[in-house]
A and B are shown apart, each in its own frame.
Chain A
């Protein structure tokens, strides 16, 4: 049992904005009162719900390939030396499994959502997630380029497609559906892409990316998934892609959706020389459509490694940079590309990207709609989130940073005109309460009675980045895991999964198709429950 007294509590889920409250914890949950146990005196300190990362890449085949591709980073990065409480590991651009848990918990994040898992590498992903200590986890399974699903959608077999998607989610022991460049990655297998919603998809006669998006969004709603379709739109990263993004949003009207890393989807201009920010248009859409959420996918300057299921984009990025390129074959399910990258303030495109991420966070008015993310590791590493918080909370600091950018940028961005500064309450919403609600994890990001006792306590510091980078205490499930900058305990986190309803005949339909074209036996394909260390099955409320 634990009591936290005297702290200024920021709990947006319950509308509490900096009031001094007492929090009581028993059996890993908040309760109204406790009789004994430790008391943490948080007088003068700031109390937040533990951070929730709605979109990150921390486990599985792609990030592991990224680790293997960047040995140069391992030599220079932060090393975790094995100790009584800690296993060894490496930080850096693609941290190792145990280090990932230490680094997330070390800055007060207690729940992470691995946003791209092909069914084929789900087993690998769960093995790695099992080795990420402290934080709770969930995963999203890649669906928008799965050839079996696309064939059904092409033939108008919606019901069967819905059953197959439900079966896949359970087979991957996943929590929801991710759609990456719908149709475009399937076309990549012919060396092509599908950039617009009406583009034809190589290998299909009438299916378009627009169809895939709409049908998948409907499937997610009909299955009653706690998290809506998590969409990485077509035409990522390209100048002028704002039109594709707005088309997509209009297409989704009437459905729930989460738009991933919208920073990469808000550019104007016709080519790289003409590229400019179009965040005003995109933010306006979000401001008038509260059913849609997004995460920023903000960019920070420095070295990182980009990994995505968007194979065609990664090939283009490789051609642009001339650096290393990895391309993984995920059979019929999706693609995967890996390219190490350095964002430089002197590079006009990178400078615009940096600005676009911040503009979206600042221009979308409701922090319940736009969440803190860097699309780790694509825009920057997750352990740099405190730098973004500083940029959001301090307009003067932003001005200082803007001075370092090329002069040519002035007409292409709106950031210099934005005076908004995030309050602590808004930060708590964008880093915790908002993403938790979007994920449908109602016991997270919430300090109310009955919720999971994940708390982060900061000592006030004028240096915002330092304050958020070095919390005084982090409490996960009622256990003090970080204290005085030291890792005190490394409990295992849970994995949230769902079991949506599907027709029992689904397997008989799938098996022959599968055996026809896959390289593994059907029996070995679904991930067994025993493979998950601490599964926690959440409810789906289907739309019947």
Chain B
């Protein structure tokens, strides 16, 4: 199947709300129809082709080029297909996503995959805050799916997430796993402070030492069985979790007792 290729030709002066940039919207549209779709430049309605050169039609494989750091809601609620971005993207990438894949060769801003249900988002650069989080007021963040950020991440990664996986390659900021209700966060380079605050369930795995909150209690040193299965799965995405007892073991901290919660923080301790 051919691709639809959009190239940014005019940098928006204020954020461009472009939830139409999704395979679900474009899959059955002709080139003309795609060009005429509405995007919101601030409060003003504009056409897609006011900002983008559009090549191709009728495809669920989208390719975006340009510095899209002011373009928000790319892939919002998408359920299938693929978006590849060559450049950086703005806030709410893949929010409410139900399926398909997004790959960004660049940075992404806050709220990547917020409240997503399924699918895969991979950002090769840095991510912002509130990755896979629940929006303000919501009881639950991401319900399932996978988010991988190769670079660093901002505040409140996985806030109120319910299920699914988030992997952060670089360092994450404060409140990673805030009010987490389930799912797994993997921190390949650790996080700043207050990791797992108010977590009720779920797992935070860190490969480097973490500053643990006083409301977490040390339980034991071990390597859970599920990690072997998990690591095999992550291996397919190019991420390696140590789980050979010969290399070391994980320190298990349980909490957050202030909620009270039954979450677990696993910190790798190499032999």
Contacts and interface: CB of A to CB of B under 8 A. Distances in A.
Contacts of B135: 71-72, 75
A325 B165 CA distance: 30
A323 interface: yes
Contacts of B139: 72, 323
Interface string B128-145: 000000111111000000
A121 interface: no
B88 to A, nearest CB: 25
Interface string A63-103: 00000011111010000000000000000000000000000
Interface in A260-282: none
Contacts of A70: 137
A340 to B, nearest CB: 9
Contacts of A75: 135
A244 B134 CA distance: 42
Interface string A40-72: 000000000000000000000000000001111
A72 B139 CA distance: 8
Interface residues of A, number: 7
A448 to B, nearest CB: 48
Nearest to A75: B135
A72 B135 CA distance: 7
Interface in B108-162: 134-139
Nearest to A74: B137
Tell me if B's interface is mostly helix, strand, loop or mixed.
loop
A301 B134 CA distance: 24
B95 to A, nearest CB: 10
Contacts of B136: 71-72
Contacts of A73: 137
Nearest to B140: A72
Interface in B182-231: none
Nearest to B134: A72
A325 B33 CA distance: 47
A75 B136 CA distance: 10
Contacts of A71: 135-137
Interface in B53-75: none
Interface string B72-93: 0000000000000000000000
Nearest to B200: A322
Nearest to B259: A322
Contacts of A323: 139
Nearest to B138: A72
A323 B179 CA distance: 13
B263 to A, nearest CB: 16
Contacts of B138: 72
Contacts of B137: 69-73
Among A70, A71, A72, A323, which residue has the most Cβ atoms of chain B within 10 A? A72
B117 to A, nearest CB: 14
A531 B56 CA distance: 60
A71 B134 CA distance: 11
Nearest to A342: B139
A73 B137 CA distance: 8
A71 B137 CA distance: 5
A69 B135 CA distance: 13
A37 B198 CA distance: 67
B159 to A, nearest CB: 13
B260 to A, nearest CB: 12
A75 B137 CA distance: 10
Nearest to A70: B137
A72 B140 CA distance: 10
A70 B138 CA distance: 8
A352 B156 CA distance: 40
Interface string B94-110: 00000000000000000
A323 B138 CA distance: 11
Nearest to A73: B137
Nearest to A71: B137
A326 to B, nearest CB: 12
Contacts of A69: 137
A88 to B, nearest CB: 11
A186 B139 CA distance: 32
B139 to A, nearest CB: 7
B140 to A, nearest CB: 9
Contacts of B134: 72
A242 to B, nearest CB: 33
Interface in A302-356: 323
A90 to B, nearest CB: 13
Among B135, B136, B137, B138, the most chain A Cβ lie within 10 Å of the Cβ of B137
A72 B137 CA distance: 5
A304 to B, nearest CB: 14
A49 B134 CA distance: 45
A73 B138 CA distance: 8
Interface string A161-194: 0000000000000000000000000000000000
A539 to B, nearest CB: 45
Interface string A369-397: 00000000000000000000000000000
A69 to B, nearest CB: 7
14 contacts: A69-B137, A70-B137, A71-B135, A71-B136, A71-B137, A72-B134, A72-B135, A72-B136, A72-B137, A72-B138, A72-B139, A73-B137, A75-B135, A323-B139
Interface of B: 134-139
Given A71-B137, A72-B135, 12 more contacts: A69-B137, A70-B137, A71-B135, A71-B136, A72-B134, A72-B136, A72-B137, A72-B138, A72-B139, A73-B137, A75-B135, A323-B139
When A and B form their complex, which 7 residue pairs have the shortest distance between CB atoms, in order from nearest?
A71-B137, A72-B137, A72-B138, A71-B136, A70-B137, A72-B135, A75-B135
